[in-house]
Copies of this chain bind each other. A is one copy, B any other.
Amino acid sequence: MRSDPTGLHRVLDDGVVLPQAAQRLDTRRELWPDEVRIRVEKLNLDAASYRQLERTYADGDAIRAAVLEIVATRGKMQNPETGSGGMLVGVVEEVGPESPLGLNVGDRVTTLVSLTLTPLVIEDALRDWDGLSEQVPCDGYAVLFGRSIAAVIPDDLPRDLALSVMDVCGAPALTARVVKQYDDAVVAVIGAAGKSGSLSLAAAKDAGAARTIGVVPHEREATLLEDAGIADAVTIADARDPIALRDAVLASGGPADVTVVCVDVPGCEGGAILTTADRGTVIFFSMATSFSAAALGAEGVAADVTMLVGNGYVPGHAAYAMDLLRSNDGVRGLFEGRLG
């Protein structure tokens, strides 16, 4: 069987589906000519996925067992409930002769495609992970396809910091692209003190936003965000309460031409729509977004807003996110604070 750049040749399902939609992937060690094998050092679970595991299982041991079970069964780390995965960091172990990715054996890389489509074998039973955080030390291997994306970790940044940035690097790139479509945009970022949120704030400013509004859920994050100095205004609101969210953004200089949703809790669609100006754009980056709630929510209040599914891929996204981090001490401080 010939390989396909999408990884179709590793799908074990009966029907024809892409690896991301597959129930089970072929994890054989041997590479097709356009593939790359990575020696995995660490997994970084998607936040929505980890929260679901945390809610469902009693303790770290049970969470670890659940992750091992998913990977053993599916040949990839894809949470069956949230549909989401995460990413990994590792070292290039072997490069197929026809790989177009430009990687060399020994490169330390992160994958910029989701774990939900990456063949993965865990070989150490995750013994070094206590199950209590999204960052999972791991020994094992993973396979990249012809059309995968991986980025070499820059030398000037600590590994965990770089990994943490690359995990969300689609958000600032897409935010910048959308903000540039407006003149003097007002940009509201929901979940602004988080990883994708803080980078999106910095990207909005970089792309020419006239005013940025950071929305956070409580006083502690408001203080963090104010101290970082990366938003023109900081406001506190429960993003699941549409009226509270709308009123908070209006009081801070809204409505927003561009609203960026970066909180991984369900039920934020209505508020994001009400917060957005006529002909404005909502970008949904949260994996907890409900398609029907967004579609029907906008229609239900006769809101003429453009709603984007936050695509995690924009060309140059990793380098752009790294540059924002390097040039913005406030953003860097928030990231370093999270890594503890």
Indicate whether A198 reaches chain B with its CB closer than 8 angstroms. Answer: no
Greatest chain B CB density within 10 A among A20, A117, A290 is at A20
Greatest chain B CB density within 10 A among A21, A267, A313 is at A21
Contact residues of A with B, CB < 8 Å?
A: 4-6, 8, 15-21, 82-85, 112-114, 116-117, 147-149, 170, 240-244, 267, 269-270, 274, 284, 287, 289-315
Chain B contacts of A82 at CB under 8 A?
A: 292
Chain B contacts of A304 at CB under 8 A?
A: 311, 313-315
Complexed CA–CA distance, A168 and B272 (Å) = 24
Greatest chain B CB density within 10 A among A6, A170, A287 is at A6
B313 in contact with A306 (CB, 8 Å): no
Interface of chain A, main secondary structure: loop
Chain B contacts of A18 at CB under 8 A?
A: 242, 270, 274, 297, 300-301
This chain's copy number in the assembly: 2
B116 in contact with A296 (CB, 8 Å): yes
The contact of A309 among B5, B117, B295, by CB within 8 Å, is B295
| Given A243-B16, A300-B113, A311-B306, CB of A274 within 8 Å of CB of B21 | no
Known: A16-B242, A20-B293. 19 other contacts (CB 8 A): A15-B240, A18-B297, A18-B301, A20-B270, A21-B297, A83-B293, A114-B299, A117-B296, A149-B302, A170-B299, A287-B291, A289-B291, A298-B309, A298-B312, A304-B314, A305-B311, A307-B308, A307-B309, A308-B308
Chain B contacts of A274 at CB under 8 A?
A: 6, 18
| Given A83-B292, A291-B284, A293-B20, CB of A298 within 8 Å of CB of B311 | yes
Ordered by A's residue number, 9 sampled pairs between the chains whose C-beta atoms are within 8 Å are A5-B301, A17-B267, A20-B300, A84-B292, A85-B296, A113-B302, A117-B296, A295-B311, A307-B308
